[in-house]
Chains A and B, each alone.
Chain A
Amino acid sequence: DQQVKQNSPSLSVQEGRISILNCDYTNSMFDYFLWYKKYPAEGPTFLISISSIKDKNEDGRFTVFLNKSAKHLSLHIVPSQPGDSAVYFCAASADIGNEKLTFGTGTRLTIIP
């Protein structure tokens, strides 16, 4: 049972435009959400996170939105740059301090120059 789903395996966006990556979850106990970026043959790097008490968190070009009622979160990248081309994973945790994460299957983002 895939508790965290990224239904788009790939996404292509023109450089300078907005990239929107989506993630859905089924476990209502999840209360902390994270986005990771991964280049080939490297470990994922942490990008941004959001607690369930918020509906938006922003860090530079990256903004994460959380819609708890829909069990949906999204990552917005504005403006998109060629270096943003990577696989993006969303992850969720059911208990702050538990620190176990459940990952989605990832979305490969390609930024077209």
Chain B
Amino acid sequence: SQTIHQWPATLVQPVGSPLSLECTVEGTSNPNLYWYRQAAGRGLQLLFYSVGIGQISSEVPQNLSASRPQDRQFILSSKKLLLSDSGFYLCAWSGGGYNEQFFGPGTRLTVL
């Protein structure tokens, strides 16, 4: 069966510090991968998606970037965090031509 991992679970970072969140998927190959953010009291905002290694599409202009160095690894990064980057970050995968996306446990990021 497929599983998706995210780490860390929680993170507190000062403004201006770098960020690296990692997501890995097991039990499937060539998945589509997604990064979402849920800000306080808001819905799920798609940040990035990837259909293959090195292929990244950005949905909204922002202070973040994404990379996919391996088939089942998706990384969310920032060089300098802003206060507005605080939120709950979710990684998801889909595959096989089906629209269902399956989410990881999420990372709670607080920027102080």
Contact = CB atoms under 8 A, between A and B. Distances in A.
Contacts, number: 56
Contact of B108 (A36, A41, A49, A98): A41
A25 interface: no
B58 to A, nearest CB: 13
B43 A46 contact: no
Interface in A45-87: 45-46, 49
A44 B44 contact: yes
B62 interface: no
Nearest to A104: B43
A89 B43 contact: yes
B104 A100 contact: no
B96 to A, nearest CB: 9
Contacts of A34: 99-100
B97 A97 contact: yes
Interface in B1-44: 32, 36, 42-44
A105 B43 CA distance: 4
A43 interface: yes
B102 A46 contact: yes
Contacts of B32: 99
Interface of B: 32, 36, 42-46, 49, 88, 90, 92, 94, 97-106, 108
29 contacts: A6-B43, A32-B99, A34-B99, A41-B88, A42-B105, A42-B106, A43-B90, A43-B103, A43-B105, A43-B106, A44-B44, A46-B100, A46-B101, A46-B102, A49-B99, A49-B100, A91-B44, A96-B97, A96-B98, A97-B97, A99-B97, A99-B98, A99-B101, A101-B46, A101-B99, A103-B43, A105-B42, A105-B43, A106-B43
Interface of A: 6, 32, 34, 36, 41-46, 49, 89, 91, 93, 96-106
